[in-house]
Amino acid sequence: MTTVASRFQGVIPPVCTPRTADGAIDVPSLENLTRHLLDGGVSGLFVNGSSGEVTHLTNTERDTVLTTIAGVNAGQVPLLVGAVEQTTNRVVEEARRMVSLGADGIVATSQYYAISNAEETGRHIRTVAASVDVPLFVYDVPVRTHFKMPTDLLVELGREGVIAGVKDSSGDDVSFRQLLIAAKDIPNFDIFTGHEVVVDGALLGGAQGVVPGLGNVDPKAYRRLYDLAVAGDWAGAAAEQDRIADVFNIVYTPKAGRVSGNAAGLGAFKTALMLMGVIKTNVMSAPMLALDEDETAAIKVILERTGLI
């Protein structure tokens, strides 16, 4: 794997957002989850991302989530914070607010809902970067934005120093590898995979780290995997990845069609954390449904099999 002189490397989980039984932000559970992640050896924390249900959070809730996590973290690891809004001016406003509340770096997507092209997306990213005095990372997640960030644009922005790196959740392994190759000589340009089960391959290809939703559940495993990769023990890394792939089976336990795909994955993470005693409930942001008793029981079997409870 490629190592660079940057503070943004390693394992940076996108922190889940616990809710109380009545749907409010569960601050004590969020504090406990943050401690769970820090104790697990994470390299950083991604706040207000997709796994944090960011698009379902009000501005007040987003602020509460960031200030709560920042309070527990107390500068131990860098905080990457999502500024996820539809269009440029809204992202700029959000990014500035997140920086004022403690963000060490901003993560922004391309515009969504608004219909744009590569040229407009480049202007969008440059404008956001110019509006804040912390590093900006591009979040490539076309399943949500309906726009795949072009590799040549990302490399161009990296060479210009506009962006500090990319969090790739595109699901396009070919373009991801092409980005790793094209950006290999850009100093302090950090590329992260958002895929839970192909991290060993991403690190072997030169990625600087991983932003895994499943890292909420088992941060120690991802830390072990990363350390094995840094040490060049690829057989050990693959074995750890195989175990993680088994844990990832929790996302397939929800009944088909009962909950949305979004609620299935994030609901599995929350349910696992609830069973592990890290958070109190598996309540989702409205209108998403929580996993039921049968689905919870199926997740418990997997957690027991993989040694998490």
Structural domains of the chain ordered from first start:
10-245 (3.20.20.70)
Q: How far apart are CA 300 and CA 308, in angstroms?
A: 9
Contact 205, 229 (CB under 8 A): no
Residue 7 confidence (pLDDT) = 76
Contacts of 2 (CB under 8 A, 6+ apart): 184, 206, 207, 208
Contacts of 290 (CB under 8 A, 6+ apart): 263, 267, 270, 271, 281, 282, 283, 284
211 appears as a binding residue in the annotation:
yes
C-alpha angle 92-27-255 in degrees, rounded to nearest 5: 90
Copy the structure tokens of residue 59.
């501005």
Residue 110 confidence (pLDDT) = 98
Q: Which residues are catalytic, by number? A: 139, 167
How many helices (H) and strands (E) the chain has is answered by 12, 8
Residue entry with tokens 């094209």? 182
Contacts of 79 (CB under 8 A, 6+ apart): 44, 45, 47, 66, 69, 70, 73, 102, 103, 104, 105
Contacts of 55 (CB under 8 A, 6+ apart): 84
C-alpha angle 9-134-128 in degrees, rounded to nearest 5: 110
Question: Which three-class secondary structure state does DSSP give residue 48?
Answer: coil
Q: How far apart are CA 8 and CA 164, in angstroms?
A: 9
Sign of CA dihedral 32, 34, 38, 42: positive
For residue 187, whether the previous peptide bond is cis, meaning omega lies within 30 degrees of 0, is no
pLDDT along the chain (309 residues), means of 10: 67 98 98 98 98 98 98 98 98 98 98 96 98 98 96 98 97 96 96 97 98 98 98 98 98 95 97 98 98 98 98
What percent helix, strand, coil does the chain show, rounded to 5?
A: 50, 10, 40
